[in-house]
Amino acid sequence: EDQVTQSPEALRLQEGESSSLNCSYTVSGLRGLFWYRQDPGKGPEFLFTLYSAGEEKEKERLKATLTKKESFLHITAPKPEDSATYLCAVFGNQFYFGTGTSLTVIP
């Protein structure tokens, strides 16, 4: 059965303290893995798409990587404005969303 698991559920970081969020997946025929950022009370906002193992994408303090079983969202020297919920989604036969990681960056 296709599924997506994100960990940790919540993460608190001091400003400047780098860390990684994990998205583990099992899917038949991966057609894309997506990362979104969601602020409270708003819709998810697109960050990255990864298509194949070994692929990496970067945007400001964020870097997404992909293996055959999982993806990591690395956050380097985070700032308070990076606080949000980060959602992972995989597209195989259907689109499957993880439950998200709630990130809080403390000044």
Applying CB under 8 A, which residues contact other proteins?
4, 9, 31-32, 34, 36, 41-46, 49, 87, 89, 91, 95-100
* Cβ closest to other proteins, residue 41 vs residue 107: 41
User: Considering the complex, what minimum distance in angstroms separates the CB of residue 36 from other proteins?
Assistant: 8
- Residue count (the chain): 107
User: Considering the complex, what minimum distance in angstroms separates the CB of residue 87 from other proteins?
Assistant: 8
* Cβ closest to other proteins, residue 36 vs residue 78: 36
* Cβ closest to other proteins, residue 18 vs residue 99: 99
Q: How far is CA 38 from CA 23, 27, 80, 98, in A?
A: 16, 23, 14, 13
The answer to whether the CB of 95 falls within 8 A of the CB of 3 is no
- Report phi then psi at 82, rounded to 5: -80, -5
User: Considering the complex, what minimum distance in angstroms separates the CB of residue 77 from other proteins?
Assistant: 27
Q: Which two tokens stand for residue 59?
A: 């945007």
